Structure 1
Amino acid sequence: MAPRRGVTRLAAVLLTALLPPLLADADIARTVRAASSRRRSDRSLVVAPGARPAVLAAMTLGEEGVNRVAGDDAGTGGAGGAAAVGQKGSDAGSGTPLLVVTATGREAEETALALRSYLPADDVAVMPAWETLPHERLSPRADTVAQRLSVLRRLAHPEEGGAIRVLVVPVRALLAPVIAGLGELEPVHLAPGLAVGLEETARRLEAAAYTRVDMVESRGEYAVRGGILDVFPPSEPRPVRVDFFGDEIDEVSSFAVADQRTIEALSAVTATACRELVLTDTVRERAAALADAVPGAADMLERISQGVAVEGMESLAPVLVDKMVPLLDLVGDRLTVLLEPERVRKRAEDLTATTGEFLAAAWTSAASGGTVPVDLSAAAFAHLAEARALAISTNRGWWSFTALAAGPETTRLPLSDPRTYRGELERAVADLGRLARQGWTVVVATDGPGPGRRMAQLLGDGDVPARIVDQLSEAGELGREADWVPDPAAAPDETGGAAAVDGAVDAAAADPTAGPGDGVVRVTQASAGHGFLAEGLRLALIAESDLTGRASAGPRGRRSL
């Protein structure tokens, strides 16, 4: 088939079509089936980094769910294998919600972005950690707090914002205790036609720790001018102007900070609280009672008792609120999966050591060398072993995806990392062309439309049939033979990287009829992070980072203003 010319548009698509072929492998299918089991335990698996989002997505959906969302009810891509194993019980193919733990916040964001290449964006959420230590006299950023509260609200009330199927958290967020009841904080909803009253809305914003100013310029501020309320919710890219007609909202629109001019009308806006420590009457009373007991924090406690949100007040949360609870108590019924457990463990050890040292020093100094008369240890990071024990005791399991086998009992999935070409695109074109001609299903995913068009052009110039596609959500769109069965005797190369690519190319050359593909490389836009090779399945996903050797652009933060 000749390469498709003249395509100028490349929209981001789901890569769900890649999931049914993966389930044709017995080890991957057993892993997905085990994830859906009602009895969860401690388990370690060797999974290539680029394949982890796909495996996690398959675990979330379950075998039946994979075939349903990918339009593969008959079991295409596995000669009926996925459908057959999905019939072995009501729980076997139903999938399970996941709690995915990473070593850092950036890895959490990148993992979530890659997962959204296989699952609907709203099904995946990130619970960020505070930028501050629990006992520092610094407050976390308002947008961080807003994202955390939004996640906690969805966990407590999935009927409002939809259930979170995959919750990704850095280990710092996993180990930090959370103030009990934050999921019950109702955000302020603003939409045309709502009769909420300007004064009542301003009162609710004040209670949610928004600061009243003359002119809104930063997140967490609000201003009132006549019948107009300006507010900058931390979760929004721009501030919002709300026009009231009496007690009813007449119009909601965004505006620019620089010149205060209206930009566009909005259908609705949700203003989440800016602080996790809400200054209720009980909190204020406790602050007043403690003002004399903690000399170093007397000024902070005095202002809190007056209902003023002050910088660093979260450090006193353990003595001002009723209870602090582990995050694991709030995530519901879901399987816990650690990515790179060695790095997670090292990060957890650093956190617990640092917070212990800080707690021993900070408030002792604040009390002028005396013993602090209050116990703030309830806010300290828990040990990872405590989190593991809690997860297992509550049937949330403790799975690990690692790059190195810890022992012979560790399951190794037959997936490997592709070669990193580091800009050698001619070599990449040659390798991908050989794979495609020998029946491999080859998908190239780029972060943006420009690189995708460029790669399709290079493939075409290299006489490699290529097609830019804007849909890869159904198994049939891969062009694979529906009745093709992988050879169980095939022994895929587990070394990964260049050796895996070379071995795959050599194996394809030795058996021209080895694969089920149609010989066409499909190029699409998806933030897959990294790609993977499934040699036994004759399936390859090549990401832009694999071609260039540069890290993916990653998630973009909100900074419009």
Structure 2
Amino acid sequence: MLEIAEAPEFRGMLRELERPAPDAEQPRERVSACGLTPTAKTLYAVLLRRALRKPLFYVTRSNREAEQALDWMETWARWLGEPTPILIPAHDIRPYQGLSPHADISEKRALGLGKLAAGQAGIVVLPVAAAANRLESAEFYRSLARPIRQGDAIELEELLNHLETVGYLRHDPVEMVGQFSLRGGILDVYSPEARRPVRLDLFGDEVESIREFDVNTQRSVGPVESALLLPLTEFPVRKELLGELSARVRESETEIFAPGEPFAGWEFLVPLITPLAHTALDLCEGGVLFLDEPLELRKEVERLWSLLEPEFEQAIEKGSPAVPPDQFYLRWEEMAGLWARRSVVEAEELALTKPALAAAPRFQFSTRPAPRFHGNLSLFLGEIETLLRQEYRVVLLTTGSGEAERLTELLGEHAIPFQLAERSAERSKDGGGDWAGRSLGDPAVPCCWIGQGAAPNGVLIPPQRILILGNQDLFETSEAAARPSRPAGSKISTFLSDFRDLLPGDSVVHVEHGIGRFKGLKEIAHEGLTMEFMDLEYQDAARLYVPLARLDLVQKYRGLDGAKPALDRLGGVSWGRTKARVRKAMEDMAEELIKLYAERETASGIAFAGEDHWQQEFEAAFEYEETPDQQTAIEDVRGDMEKPVPMDRLICGDVGYGKTEVAMRATFRAATHSRQVAVLAPTTVLAFQHYETFRRRFAAFPIRIEMLSRFRTAAQQKAVLRDLEAGKVDVVIGTHRLLSKDVQFHDLGLVIVDEEQRFGVRHKERLKAMKKSVDVLSLSATPIPRTLHMSLVGLRNMSLIETPPRDRLSIQTVVAPFSEALVQTAIEQELERGGQVYFVHNRVDSLPGMAVLIQKLAPQARIATAHGQMGERQLEKVMLGFLRHETNVLVATTIIENGLDIPLVNTILINRAERLGLAELYQLRGRVGRSNRRAYAYLLVPEEAELTHEARHRLSALKEFTELGSGFRVAALDM
């Protein structure tokens, strides 16, 4: 693994960070690191800490992301012999909510801040709200922990008072963390993070001995030289401080608090007595900042302040004691100013804008998410064998010995070499924990390394030929392996991500009341208790207030094309009827599908005979050399067609990888055995392309091929239908027109469905139901998750074509904000090399205006426009003109998604890419790169601030899937 740190981009970044500043007040070096997946960021951060030997602060957007990063970094740190990272979470509540922080959060913060102040931190993981938090001094946090050594003289009463102050409770006997007891001269204490509780044997004021003891038997286990009693809270409960605060509260509140006793929210009034003048970064000298998506961090700080300021004003209006928010938190501008005096790494997956803090050298890394196998062992084994042949180092992370044993048995059964990394560590004689780095650094070891680690997802690093797989990459769900125990989160945490992008006016669905409109969050006071509710509006302005504890009852509405749904009536019957109707429709469809697949399995299909000289001649006429995967798919289909049961096979392969040739060979076999073939395409344009391709390929053979689409007149269609029913047409190609009731076949033997994700389930199943014994062959680059899942679990057979044609290059994908300069450069660059350009703008009303702008930017371009509302003859003329190179820039809607295969088109620009789905973007990008020229796909988005997290996820996924043959993984990502 250490060779990753020898990569030129990593070494360059390291050199920049190691440059000395003229003096302490001058700005330090900062760099921008792009192209890092979430897993890769944590790995490179640990490697950076290892190289610089300085504390490293890893700043994330939220507590959840910080905990996830901690899981990964603990694994990398253990493998690389680095100190265990520490976590400093942000508070779970804000200062003006009248509540105290959660005890677990307070304990974690106290432990983390104490270690940081004591100089024990190698890597500190913290959300940006914790980084913005104003704190006490380093000396204050060091004083919360109490080290005790054998022979020390202590004041017993002062020590007992300290333990109570920092959160310990008296309990005899001591059984749990955070308890202590005193019996004569024996003091038992159970400190956080200790293996066992300790027993201090006192002789007067001297600690005579320290022993660990077993909580079950209460018997001593063995002596130790020292003990460190860590705090359980960052807010020591001091009676004098609480007395002053209680007096302040009584001046403005009617409720009377006992002087010196804690009350709800007292922790957030401390700055009234003691100002907070430090931050987490001030608690240690030096250190490097590693910012995970700095633009997201800035937005999170701005979001926090957008909540703090109105809440503070409301507290003042109520007459409640409140501390101004700037005494608790820094603003982003203040943070940026303080951070300028430290070395900073701005880590991003996508380089969409300028660096967040200041101009910085930008280093581009090449990392991608690890492939996910969803529990499909055959896919996993095949991928591992392929990578080992390519001399990749493959690391399999497991969370326990049982999982490791399962993997070793599996790899052993399939003769895949492996090694248990832990065993090599045990044999290591030099003692350093750096065994993983040394072992994986040896490129001469062609095997899998199996080691323990809690990283759920891995990373693929092509330049260094390293693949790391986590347990979620290998198994269907993360439940296949146990997660290290951590305090349980809120039961609603699963649902919070759905609401992160929820804005007032968005539609939501309540399980019991149906579709409503989100108006915002509202605080409601009842019987002296103030709670926060989700405010939902229904028909006739009726309101429903949902407690945040019941967010599991609400989901964000996800409709087609962003359409706004009608609101339901509170207490009405329409929602109940809708649920009943949908439930009945789903049950009927499920019953229909089960019956259909059961009948297909038991039906007697057509057993086509083996190859004859006609078939051999047809295959020999193929002008290219078959790729290995393509040949395997051909053999799979051939085997299926020779069986007496109906074929149902999915061919999954990237655009231009030879799926059509597989289909045409199946077509030829069916046609030469006097069986008709139906080819179903999702669009008129793609149906026309297939028609032209089939006609050229079958030109030397006596097979009649016809087309049914809107490119044919009514008279022509009528003639085709008549001959189809009479058996005079061998192959018919069309759109959903083939599903019409007036389409009758004489003897249908094979149905080919291209890009099936573009059809509704009923369309596809209706076609299959036309003949219970018909062979079905489906083609797709990105099959919909339902279809892919059926294939993975064995309901359908699947052939995967991942091998690119010879000399095919991957598509260079760029995600960038829209700018006229970028559009002009991209178009001119393509036209200068004699190529053609697609510009996708998915708004018909503004399409002409966009064409005018492009003509202005590229005066030499010959521009045409195309969209689905054009007349059929006009659309055909435009597409054929572009095919014949009469025009060289096509400004179009997504009608080109399944368009013509034009080798000269090697640049595509997709405007407002964030509005499109992942599979849709992938298909659009697949319109280019059909030759041996380098192809470019520009995904143009508005300013960074307008992107939702879902849109960023889609764009990140597409940018990462630039390897040839990644369509299957795009579909798997959606599962």
Q: After superposing the two structures, state which structure 1 stretch, 107-116 or 36-45, moved more.
A: 36-45
Q: Does 1:386 align with 2:368?
A: no
Question: CA 1:422–1:346 in 2, change beyond 3 Å: closer, same or farther?
Answer: farther
CA distance in 2: counterparts of 1:153 and 1:355, whole angstroms: 27
Q: Determine helix, strand or coil for the equivalent of 2:141.
A: helix
The answer (yes or no) to whether the contact 2:100–2:266 under 8 Å persists in 1 is yes
Q: Does 1:420 align with 2:372?
A: yes
CA distance in 2: counterparts of 1:26 and 1:468, whole angstroms: 30
Give the Å deviation of 1:229: 3.3
> Match for residue 509 of structure 1?
none
Coordinate RMSD, CA, aligned: 3.4
Give the letter aligned to residue 355 of structure 1. Answer: L
Q: Determine helix, strand or coil for the equivalent of 2:19.
A: coil
Give the Å deviation of 1:412: 2.4
Give the letter aligned to residue 303 of structure 1. Answer: P
Give the letter aligned to residue 402 of structure 1. Answer: E
The answer (yes or no) to whether the contact 1:242–1:251 under 8 Å persists in 2 is yes
CA distance in 2: counterparts of 1:220 and 1:296, whole angstroms: 34
Q: After superposing the two structures, state which structure 1 stretch, 173-182 or 217-226, moved more.
A: 217-226
Give the letter aligned to residue 468 of structure 1. Answer: L
Which one of the candidate residues 59, 63, 79 is aligned to 1:101? 59
CA distance in 2: counterparts of 1:261 and 1:348, whole angstroms: 49
Give the Å deviation of 1:343: 4.3
Give the Å deviation of 1:252: 4.0
Question: CA 1:338–1:152 in 2, change beyond 3 Å: closer, same or farther?
Answer: same
Which one of the candidate residues 522, 542, 556 is aligned to 2:449? 522
**Alignment deviations for residues 252-305 of structure 1 (CA, whole Å, 9 cap, x no partner):** 44554xx78458557344323344344568736744763554335762xx623x
Q: Determine helix, strand or coil for the equivalent of 1:118.
A: helix
Give the Å deviation of 1:331: 4.3
The answer (yes or no) to whether the contact 1:35–1:59 under 8 Å persists in 2 is no
Q: How do residues 312-391 of structure 1 correspond to structure 2 at under 5 angstroms?
A: 312-362=265-315, 364-365=317-318, 367=319, 372=320, 375-391=323-339
Which one of the candidate residues 465, 477, 481 is aligned to 2:439? 477
Q: Does 1:203 align with 2:161?
A: yes
> Match for residue 241 of structure 2?
283
Give the letter aligned to residue 377 of structure 1. Answer: P
Q: How do residues 27-38 of structure 1 correspond to structure 2 at under 5 angstroms?
A: 27-38=9-20
> Match for residue 176 of structure 1?
133
Give the Å deviation of 1:346: 4.2
Q: Does 1:139 align with 2:66?
A: no
Question: CA 1:209–1:420 in 2, change beyond 3 Å: closer, same or farther?
Answer: closer
The answer (yes or no) to whether the contact 1:182–1:276 under 8 Å persists in 2 is no
Question: CA 1:266–1:186 in 2, change beyond 3 Å: closer, same or farther?
Answer: farther
Give the letter aligned to residue 323 of structure 1. Answer: L
Q: Determine helix, strand or coil for the equivalent of 1:169.
A: strand
**Alignment deviations for residues 114-169 of structure 1 (CA, whole Å, 9 cap, x no partner):** 223333463521112223323343333444334323333333332xxx3x221110
The answer (yes or no) to whether the contact 1:126–1:151 under 8 Å persists in 2 is yes
Give the letter aligned to residue 352 of structure 1. Answer: W
CA distance in 2: counterparts of 1:423 and 1:520, whole angstroms: 21
Give the Å deviation of 1:460: 1.9
CA distance in 2: counterparts of 1:240 and 1:133, whole angstroms: 37
Give the Å deviation of 1:464: 1.5
Give the Å deviation of 1:222: 4.0
Give the Å deviation of 1:178: 1.3
Q: Does 1:557 align with 2:473?
A: no
CA distance in 2: counterparts of 1:449 and 1:387, whole angstroms: 44
> Match for residue 253 of structure 2?
295
Give the Å deviation of 1:416: 1.7
Question: CA 1:234–1:460 in 2, change beyond 3 Å: closer, same or farther?
Answer: closer
Question: CA 1:349–1:363 in 2, change beyond 3 Å: closer, same or farther?
Answer: same
Q: Determine helix, strand or coil for the equivalent of 2:472.
A: helix
The answer (yes or no) to whether the contact 1:136–1:315 under 8 Å persists in 2 is no
Q: How do residues 449-468 of structure 1 correspond to structure 2 at under 5 angstroms?
A: 449-468=401-420
Question: CA 1:519–1:395 in 2, change beyond 3 Å: closer, same or farther?
Answer: closer
CA distance in 2: counterparts of 1:553 and 1:389, whole angstroms: 42
Question: CA 1:285–1:475 in 2, change beyond 3 Å: closer, same or farther?
Answer: closer
Give the letter aligned to residue 189 of structure 1. Answer: P
Q: Determine helix, strand or coil for the equivalent of 2:228.
A: strand
CA distance in 1: counterparts of 2:335 and 2:85, whole angstroms: 22
Q: Determine helix, strand or coil for the equivalent of 2:109.
A: helix
Sequence identity of aligned pairs in percent? 24
Give the Å deviation of 1:458: 1.4
Give the letter aligned to residue 388 of structure 1. Answer: A
Q: Does 1:536 align with 2:494?
A: no
CA distance in 2: counterparts of 1:105 and 1:95, whole angstroms: 26
Give the Å deviation of 1:432: 1.0
TM-score, structure 1 as length reference: 0.71
**Alignment deviations for residues 46-77 of structure 1 (CA, whole Å, 9 cap, x no partner):** 21222222211221122xxxxxxxxxxxxxxx
**Alignment deviations for residues 494-527 of structure 1 (CA, whole Å, 9 cap, x no partner):** xxxxxxxxxxxxxxxxxxxxxx443222222223
Q: After superposing the two structures, state which structure 1 stretch, 325-334 or 277-286, moved more.
A: 277-286
CA distance in 2: counterparts of 1:217 and 1:362, whole angstroms: 42
CA distance in 1: counterparts of 2:58 and 2:252, whole angstroms: 39
Q: Determine helix, strand or coil for the equivalent of 1:344.
A: helix
Question: CA 1:469–1:223 in 2, change beyond 3 Å: closer, same or farther?
Answer: closer
Which one of the candidate residues 168, 173, 185 is aligned to 1:227? 185
Q: Determine helix, strand or coil for the equivalent of 1:117.
A: helix
> Match for residue 166 of structure 1?
123
Q: Give 5+ residue unaligned stretches, structure 1.
A: 1-17, 63-93, 481-515
The answer (yes or no) to whether the contact 1:96–1:334 under 8 Å persists in 2 is yes
Which one of the candidate residues 337, 342, 348 is aligned to 1:402? 348
Q: How do residues 176-195 of structure 1 correspond to structure 2 at under 5 angstroms?
A: 176-180=133-137, 181-190=139-148, 193-195=151-153
Give the Å deviation of 1:317: 1.0
Which one of the candidate residues 387, 390, 396 is aligned to 1:438? 390
Give the Å deviation of 1:420: 0.8
Q: Determine helix, strand or coil for the equivalent of 1:47.
A: coil
CA distance in 1: counterparts of 2:436 and 2:417, whole angstroms: 21
Question: CA 1:207–1:540 in 2, change beyond 3 Å: closer, same or farther?
Answer: closer
CA distance in 2: counterparts of 1:243 and 1:142, whole angstroms: 30
Question: CA 1:440–1:235 in 2, change beyond 3 Å: closer, same or farther?
Answer: closer
CA distance in 2: counterparts of 1:155 and 1:431, whole angstroms: 43
The answer (yes or no) to whether the contact 1:420–1:547 under 8 Å persists in 2 is yes
Which one of the candidate residues 44, 50, 57 is aligned to 1:61? 50
Give the Å deviation of 1:209: 4.9
> Match for residue 36 of structure 2?
47
The answer (yes or no) to whether the contact 1:110–1:554 under 8 Å persists in 2 is no
Question: CA 1:35–1:448 in 2, change beyond 3 Å: closer, same or farther?
Answer: farther
Q: Determine helix, strand or coil for the equivalent of 1:325.
A: coil
Question: CA 1:466–1:244 in 2, change beyond 3 Å: closer, same or farther?
Answer: same
Give the letter aligned to residue 46 of structure 1. Answer: G
> Match for residue 525 of structure 2?
none
Question: CA 1:47–1:116 in 2, change beyond 3 Å: closer, same or farther?
Answer: same
Give the letter aligned to residue 457 of structure 1. Answer: E
Question: CA 1:360–1:239 in 2, change beyond 3 Å: closer, same or farther?
Answer: farther
> Match for residue 205 of structure 2?
247
Question: CA 1:279–1:335 in 2, change beyond 3 Å: closer, same or farther?
Answer: same
Give the Å deviation of 1:177: 1.6
**Alignment deviations for residues 205-258 of structure 1 (CA, whole Å, 9 cap, x no partner):** 2443545567767765544343343445455587655443443444544554xx
Q: Determine helix, strand or coil for the equivalent of 2:16.
A: helix
TM-score, structure 2 as length reference: 0.43
Question: CA 1:407–1:184 in 2, change beyond 3 Å: closer, same or farther?
Answer: closer
Report how many residues are paired: 457
Which one of the candidate residues 448, 471, 474 is aligned to 1:547? 474
Question: CA 1:374–1:197 in 2, change beyond 3 Å: closer, same or farther?
Answer: closer
